[in-house]
Amino acid sequence: MSTIFQAIPGKSYIPTYREIMSLAIKNMSDYLSHIGSHKVFDIRVVLECIKTNEIIEVDPDDKMLTNKEFRAIFYIQDMPGGIDCYYYQYCPIDKAGWEDELRNNPNSRKYKSIIRESIKIGHHWHFRRSAGQPAPVVLLYGMLAASLASLTDGIVHSDDGAWDYSMMPASTDEFLSFFLKPEHISGSRDKDYFQGIIDNLKNMGES
């Protein structure tokens, strides 16, 4: 099982991997400080060819992935697991889905101009987290999506259970205000799971 956070850009600017990872590290550090931890994580990224599984080293100053033939794999140094990122171009089904969102989801209507601009730009990114990831990778998952959305003046969205759909889509500030915050976790199963993630992060202690 896996879930996805979408980074929906509000402008055509393509940030570098360094920009994304630097902001993700800051967001992670801010969150960890909030829960009383000063752990610091070293984020890395490689590309993988989807057809051949060939791994390609990435220059951090390269622009973010804009090629459907590859996926970017973000990971934490010396830790198993990671987050896959895919580049998507909007197709008619995507556009129809957003029209349905704009009709039925009040949160989407708040960001109508960003959604329309993103469709005009023609692309967005998906960050995919598979089940069983270590707690820091779960944190990284949301912070990567938030960072890319922030750098492109966009929003974060998910409709597959990555987070409570009633809060989606969200601006970066909104997302950071509720992601992995116990008071914003609804549903007993999700609450137990995410509280376990939070407790694990707290228990990691000092770097």
Q: Render pLDDT for 36-80 as a digit per residue (tens, 0 to 9).
A: 998 999 999 999 999 999 999 999 999 999 999 999 999 999 999
d(C-alpha 115, C-alpha 103), whole Å: 13
Determine the structural domain holding residue 190 and report its residue range. 2-203
H or E element that contains 27: helix 17-34
CA distance 141 to 146: 9
Backbone φ and ψ of 150, nearest 5°: -65, -45
Q: How far apart are CA 189 and CA 187, in angstroms?
A: 6
Burial grade of 32 (CB within 10 A; 0-12, 13-18, 19 or more): buried
Instruction: With beta carbons less than 8 A apart as the criterion, state whether 38 and 32 touch.
Output: yes
Burial class (CB in 10 A: 0-12, 13-18, 19+), 174: middle
Q: How many domains does the chain have?
A: 1
pLDDT value for 190: 85
Cis omega before residue 169 (within 30°)? Answer: yes
> What would the pLDDT profile of 143-194 be if each residue is shown by its tens digit?
999 999 999 999 999 999 899 999 999 999 999 999 999 888 877 668 889 9
Entry pTM? 0.95
Query: Taking the CA of residue 183 as centre, how many other CA atoms within 13 Å lie in the half-sphere pointing to its CB?
Result: 2
Helix/strand number for the chain, H first, E second? 7, 8
The residue whose two tokens read 């994580």 is 41
